[in-house]
Structure 1
Amino acid sequence: MDTTQPDDMTRETETERLRAVVAALEHSQRERLPEEFIGLFREDAIWTTGHGKRLFGRDEIAAFTRRVLPGSVQEGTVFYEVEHVLFLRPDVAAVKARATYRDPDGAQIGNQGSPMYVMTKEGDRWLLTANQNTEIIDT
């Protein structure tokens, strides 16, 4: 296993590319674009939704997304903020984000989400590979 880490300049560039994937994810969800969303995943990706539904492979992710995304968050939209990036290897990164759902007036809807995206670099693209969203419950 290659455990070398990218140098600072490469790390900064790759971090921006990872942030761009999260931005594309946000865009696809806000605009309700299932095909754009699906295209961000590796063929053998794993996705666990915020409500615990486990999806294995892009085909299952696609079927679920095509069914739920066009009608999702009708009263508002989602905003993502990347909170932390951890390079596990130069071609594998764990990206921790915060999801906030807002109504058209900007007020928060429900609880925030805390997604974790493990992305792998495939050629020159970062793809969502092992991912889980978790609802944040204040205790």
Structure 2
Amino acid sequence: MSTTSIADQTSQADIEAIKQVVAKVEHVQNNELPDEFVALFRADAIWTTGHGKRLFGRDAISAFTHQVLPGGMQGATVTFEVEHVLFIRPDVAAVKVRQVYRNLDGTKDVGTPMFVMAKEDGQWYLTACQNTIVVDTD
């Protein structure tokens, strides 16, 4: 018999589902699929880009994404790794992500996004997100 409680099993299943959303973010960015990216957000989502542009609502996120994503990954790839998940409630999670952009010339840029996600009708959605570029202070 397993010692994992029902709550632990649910949390683990939710963590896996959250990781799948983050993997989808990686996939749609690398493949420059703006419509699929926008579909990951709630209609009333908030997104702050790595350069501080504040976007309110899926329509604003869509307009911005359709401007920058096609061609934006040319010569680069990005990876996302879930570092930590904090369940604020069973249907709301703060997700800390490590983001690494690799350019063809071998250089890389690191980001540290925070994705607040909400679960609705069994699906996790990006709800309030802040992307932050890591500046090398050495």
1:104: Cα distance to partner? 4.5
| Counterpart residue type for residue 30 of structure 1 | N
Structure (1/2) with the larger strand percentage: 2
Contact 2:88–2:94, Cα closer than 8 Å, also in 1: yes
For 1:12 and 1:64, how far apart are their aligned partners in 2?
Answer: 33
The SS at the match of 2:52 is coil
Identity among equivalent pairs (%): 59
Instruction: State the TM-score, normalizing by the size of structure 2.
Output: 0.92
The size of the alignment, in residue pairs, is 132
Partner of residue 89, structure 2: 89
Partner of residue 132, structure 1: 130
1:75: Cα distance to partner? 1.5
Contact 1:118–1:129, Cα closer than 8 Å, also in 2: yes
1:16: Cα distance to partner? 0.3
Contact 2:118–2:125, Cα closer than 8 Å, also in 1: yes
For 2:114 and 2:21, how far apart are their aligned partners in 1?
Answer: 13
1:47 aligns with 2:47: yes
- Deviation string 1:21-56 (CA, Å, 9 cap, x unpaired) is 000011000000001000000000000000000000
Instruction: State the TM-score, normalizing by the size of structure 1.
Output: 0.91
For 1:7 and 1:15, how far apart are their aligned partners in 2?
Answer: 12
Specify every segment of 5 or more residues in structure 1 that has no aligned partner in the other structure, as ranges.
1-5
1:108: Cα distance to partner? 3.9
Contact 1:97–1:116, Cα closer than 8 Å, also in 2: yes
1:103: Cα distance to partner? 2.8
Q: Cα RMSD (Å) of the superposition?
A: 1.3
For 2:36 and 2:30, how far apart are their aligned partners in 1?
Answer: 11
Specify every segment of 5 or more residues in structure 2 that has no aligned partner in the other structure, as ranges.
1-5
The SS at the match of 2:93 is strand
